[in-house]
Amino acid sequence: MAVTININGKDETIDAAPGTPLLWVLRDHLQMTGTKFGCGVAQCGACTVHLDGEPVRSCSIPHDALDGGKVTTIEGKEGKAAKAIRDAWVNLNVPQCGYCQSGQIMSAVALLEANPKPSDQDIDDAMSGNLCRCATYMSIRRAIKQAAASL
Partner 1 sequence: MFFENFIPKGDEEITEVVSGSSGSSIPVNLSRRGFLTTTSAFVVGVTLAGCSQAEEVVIDPTPPTPAGPSPLTEVKGGDATPSLWIEIEADGKVKITCHRSEMGQQAWTSMTQIVADELEADWAKVEVVQALGNPKYGDQNTDGSRSVRYNFHRLRVAGAAMRQMLCQAAANHWGIELADCRAEQGVVSNSVNKKTLTYGQLAEAAGNLQVPAEDQIVLKSRDEWRFIGKEISSLTVEKIVRGEGTFGQDVQREGMVYAVIAHPPRVFAEVQSFDDSQTKQVQGVVRTVKLPDATAPALFKPLGGVAVIAKDTWSAIQGREALVVEWSDGPNKEFNSEPYFDELSAAAKNPGNPQRSKGDAAQAIKDASTKVSAEYRSAFIVHSPMEPPSATAEWNGDELECWACVQDPQTTRRTLSELLQHDIEKIKVNATWLGGAFGRKSKCDFVVEAAILAKEVGTPVKVVWTREDEIQGGYYHAMAVQNFEGGLDADGKALAYQHRTAFPSIGSTFNPAADEPGPFECDLGATDAPFDIPNIQVEAVKAKAGVRIGWLRSVANIHHVFGVQSFAAEMAAAAGKDQKDYLLELIGAPRIVDLSAENSKYGNYGADIEEYPLDADRLANVIRKAADMAKWGRDLPAGHGLGIAVHRSFLSYVALVVEVAVDAEGNLTIVGCWSAVDAGTVVNPKHVKHQIEGGVIFGFSNALYGKISVTEGQVDQANFPDWRLMRMDEAPKAFEVEVIESNAPPAGVGEPGTPPAAPALANAIFAATGKRYRTLPIIGPDDYTLPLNSDNA
Task: Give the footprint of partner 1 on this chain (CB under 8 A).
Answer: 16-18, 20-21, 24, 27-29, 31-41, 43-44, 46, 73-75, 85-86, 89-90, 93-102, 105, 120, 123-125, 127-141
Strand partners, 50: 55, 72
In the complex, minimum distance from the CB of residue 150 to partner 1, in angstroms, rounded to a whole number:
15
In the complex, minimum distance from the CB of residue 144 to partner 1, in angstroms, rounded to a whole number:
10
Cα separation, 13 vs 115, whole angstroms: 34
Residue 17 or 151: the one with the smaller Cβ distance to partner 1 is 17
Residue 90 or 151: the one with the smaller Cβ distance to partner 1 is 90
Cα separation, 149 vs 95, whole angstroms: 20
In the complex, minimum distance from the CB of residue 95 to partner 1, in angstroms, rounded to a whole number:
5
Residue 70 or 141: the one with the smaller Cβ distance to partner 1 is 141
In the complex, minimum distance from the CB of residue 106 to partner 1, in angstroms, rounded to a whole number:
9
SS3 7: strand
Residue 11 or 121: the one with the smaller Cβ distance to partner 1 is 121
In the complex, minimum distance from the CB of residue 51 to partner 1, in angstroms, rounded to a whole number:
17
- CA 137 and chain centroid, separation: 16
In the chain the first and final C-alpha atoms are separated, in Å, by 44
Of residues 30, 41, 112, the one with CA closest to residue 75? 30
Q: Which helix (H) or strand (E) holds 126?
A: helix 120-127
Residue 25's contacts (CB-CB under 8 Å, 6 or more residues apart) are 5, 14, 16, 63
Residue 97 or 149: the one with the smaller Cβ distance to partner 1 is 97
